[in-house]
Amino acid sequence: MQKSLHIDPNKCTGCLQCEMACSFENHGVFNISKSRIKVFNFEHAGRKVPYTCTQCAEAWCLNACPVDAIRIDAGTGAKVVHEDVCVGCKVCTIACPFGTVNYVAESGKVQKCDLCGGEPACADACPTGAITYVEADWTGLDKMRAWAGKTDTQPRAA
């Protein structure tokens, strides 16, 4: 069975270790602007929630790419951007309903989570277990819906 990232927003402290690990793993620098995972700050609710590509079964980014630069890794099931093929047209960024495919101005290409070849640096770096790499049997869309349900920011009745 394939594995995927599982995010428990209730365990996230907003330490940004996941972002730092991702940027170092993929770019060799500690620079959160280069990270493929982001921690969203629900300021009014006082919550932090990590989010990244959910490796959707639907793979709208993959299907939208006009040059077939996004392909499925046979080992991990991740939808991986092949930079040598990517022309930087950004169609995949528009196709992704979650905004997790990003254009990188320095390279003129796009980037998205590739699960670090099966050893996600973000999960390894997370000190609270908010990000884990587990066996998964649900699609990206279902994951996003589940995360959205856990991040209810509506005020509670007293």
- Distance between CA atoms of residues 93 and 90, nearest Å: 5
State pTM to two decimals: 0.83
Residue 148 has pLDDT above 70, yes or no: no
> Are the beta carbons of 62 and 54 closer than 8 angstroms?
no
Query: Mind listing the pLDDT tens digit for each residue in 52-88?
Result: 999 988 899 999 999 999 999 999 999 999 999 999 9
Closest CA to 12 of 130, 157, 139: 130
Burial class (CB in 10 A: 0-12, 13-18, 19+), 52: buried
Q: What is the pLDDT of residue 129?
A: 96
Query: For residue 157, how far is the Cα from the chain centroid?
Result: 33
CATH number of 3-150: 3.30.70.20
Q: Which residues contact 107 (CB under 8 A, 6 or more apart)?
A: 83, 88
Q: Which residues contact 8 (CB under 8 A, 6 or more apart)?
A: 129, 130, 131, 132, 150
| Strands annotated E in 26-90 | 38-42, 47-51, 70-72, 79-81
> For the chain, how are helix, strand and coil distributed in percent, rounded to 5?
30, 20, 50
- Distance between CA atoms of residues 108 and 89, nearest Å: 9
Q: What is the pLDDT of residue 149?
A: 67
Query: Mind listing the pLDDT tens digit for each residue in 92-132?
Result: 999 999 999 999 999 999 999 999 999 999 999 999 999 99
> Where does the pLDDT of residue 144 fall: very low under 50, low under 70, confident under 90, or very high at 90 and above?
low
